[in-house]
Structure 1
């Protein structure tokens, strides 16, 4: 049984997955309460599925991009569980997990996570010769740059605000298909499936070295130097 954890943004999601598929899933609006919410939700999900820690055989975790603090909550929990239970860990891009929800479509899929400063975090994925493939690396782009890079009919998905959606529609018209809100909810069952395949293919991460994927350096305010006692 694999446990998947995603606290990348104000929405969080967790799931249990095995060779039968998703065995339990919970998605909620965490806002800034990832630290307080995550453990109780994991316990509740495992109890509902009648799963105990010793049943877990792997951990999948969304590594970003996303919020600085949010990403670190799931990552710390995933690393701790992997080390304590001696089970493999797979880190998965949050953008890939978003896009994979729509992987059955015969279209390029462009996930969007709003990145602040008039930019979005994005990448591009598509099924190529029956294999799920990443066509563009995760990057920060303006909406104008995203639209300039879109030359064929593409599905846009993810946490797309009304302003971004409106601009994409205006610039791309029929080239852009924007997934409806319910289809844009980030579900950890898809993250779990990606992690399940990676672990079974031997593509595991070292808990000691796995890091969150930040596309922008976190803003850290320099402490002011004291002027007490100076002329």
Structure 2
């Protein structure tokens, strides 16, 4: 089975092709340019470089979130469009799962951090145990203090990664001391190859789905939704539109 994987959940755009035996190719761009401009050219270029066409692809995998709302919409919409056109299934993969999967078989806890703004992070806690990739807690959108409280009661070292890592490095080190490890640049960012590997595992378990069912997992409401709800609450309290 050949899987085409996409990740546009952050500023990083990543595309990969993988089969059951090997990673065939991967393109990563970590530079400011809109995903709507670069994603499809990256897909086309990667397939040509690997001497493949969309007819060779059996499964589309995509980072379903959490992450940038706009980035997720672009990635999911692209995956749905490609899957619809080729009449093939899709696999939505958690951005946090894929980030943590960048560090296979390591010791200690793995804690991806994505900047969720509003003084929060998107995060989860993982661990490898006897070759199994385990989700310990999450996914969740919480404050850094809440995350530190969760980690403080555990004895393991904690490996951090993701675009929220540098921003919070000083506080994490001050709070957790020498238990803190920051991942190197090569694995701290989203990689479509991890999306692809997790998608192949889903396929082996029969957990792939129709593109109709694929939706982004924002993990929390958008700013527009929150503002609308607050407006409606004020209207209920103040009697907006009533004579």
Judge conservation of contact 1:15–1:192 (CA < 8 Å) in 2: yes
CA RMSD of aligned residues (A): 1.6
Counterpart among 199, 203, 226 of residue 199 in structure 1: 203
Return the alpha-carbon distance in structure 2 between the equivalents of residues 41 and 30 of structure 1. 13
The equivalent of 2:172 in structure 1 is: 168
Q: Number of matched residues?
A: 223
Displacement, 1:88? 1.9
Determine helix, strand or coil for the equivalent of 2:223. Answer: coil
Return the alpha-carbon distance in structure 2 between the equivalents of residues 82 and 131 of structure 1. 30
Give the alignment of 1:22-33 within 5 angstroms. 22-29=23-30, 31=32, 33=34
Displacement, 1:30? 5.0
Determine helix, strand or coil for the equivalent of 2:108. Answer: coil
TM-score (norm 1): 0.91
Deviations 1:156-186 (A, max 9, x none): 1111343301110111011211112333122
Return the alpha-carbon distance in structure 2 between the equivalents of residues 165 and 38 of structure 1. 31
The equivalent of 2:186 in structure 1 is: 182
Displacement, 1:201? 1.5
Return the alpha-carbon distance in structure 2 between the equivalents of residues 39 and 176 of structure 1. 38
Return the alpha-carbon distance in structure 2 between the equivalents of residues 167 and 182 of structure 1. 23
The equivalent of 1:21 in structure 2 is: 22
Of Structure 1 and Structure 2, the greater helix share is in 2
Q: Which runs of 4+ in 1 moved over 6 A?
A: none
Determine helix, strand or coil for the equivalent of 1:78. Answer: helix
Determine helix, strand or coil for the equivalent of 1:127. Answer: strand
Judge conservation of contact 1:103–1:109 (CA < 8 Å) in 2: no
Judge conservation of contact 1:103–1:126 (CA < 8 Å) in 2: no
The equivalent of 1:128 in structure 2 is: 129
The equivalent of 1:45 in structure 2 is: 46
Return the alpha-carbon distance in structure 2 between the equivalents of residues 37 and 132 of structure 1. 32
TM-score (norm 2): 0.87
Displacement, 1:23? 0.5
The equivalent of 2:241 in structure 1 is: none
The equivalent of 2:110 in structure 1 is: 109
Determine helix, strand or coil for the equivalent of 2:212. Answer: coil
Q: Structure 2 unaligned runs (5+)?
A: 232-243
